[in-house]
């Protein structure tokens, strides 16, 4: 189930910690009305950390034969994708809302009423 946190490797934990840092920074910047910095932080996290690093290094695990590892990686990628959509939503509401409508296991039908990532 996507609601249960699987057993993570140290590398997985680092990826989740990087997400937590990005969420914290974007939240702080939005609360300080630094929309420019918040958009930049969200962009850099999603593009340079999630897409360039996390997704790329996950490809071998997703192609591999270890079904447990594959499930952990799928959980991690899905969890980060959900948080990333939430981070980007204030800046790209129509695009993120459309992507959200196609996802399974989401907390609400509309992204705009979903909880902010923690």
Where does the pLDDT of residue 1 fall: very low under 50, low under 70, confident under 90, or very high at 90 and above?
low
Residue 34 lies in a domain: yes
Residue 77 lies in a domain: yes
What pTM, to 2 d.p., does this model score? 0.94
Name the maximum alpha-carbon separation found in the chain: 47
Residue 102 lies in a domain: yes
What CATH number should be reported for the domain holding residue 73?
Answer: 1.10.730.10
pLDDT value at residue 82: 97
**Is residue 93 within 8 Å of 42, Cβ to Cβ?**
no
Where does the pLDDT of residue 2 fall: very low under 50, low under 70, confident under 90, or very high at 90 and above?
low
> Which H, E and C letters describe 73-112, residue by residue?
HHHHHHHHHHHHHHHHCCCCHHHHHHHHHCCCCCCCCCHH
Residue 118 lies in a domain: no
pLDDT value at residue 4: 83
Q: For residue 114, what is the DSSP state?
A: S
Number of domains into which the chain is organized = 1
Average pLDDT, the chain: 96
Q: Which structural domain range is residue 24 located in?
A: 10-113
């Amino acid at each position: 189930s996507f609601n249960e946190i699987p057993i993570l490797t140290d590398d997985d934990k680092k990826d989740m910690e990087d997400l937590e840092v990005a969420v914290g920074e974007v939240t702080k910047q939005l609360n300080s009305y630094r929309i420019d910095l918040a958009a930049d932080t969200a962009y850099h996290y999603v593009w340079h950390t999630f897409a360039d690093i996390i997704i790329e290094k996950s490809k071998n695990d997703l192609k591999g034969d270890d079904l447990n590892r594959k499930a952990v990686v799928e959980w991690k990628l899905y969890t980060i994708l959900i948080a990333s959509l939430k981070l980007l939503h204030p800046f790209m509401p129509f695009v993120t809302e459309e992507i959200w409508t196609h996802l399974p296991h989401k907390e609400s039908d509309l992204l705009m009423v979903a909880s902010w990532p923690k």
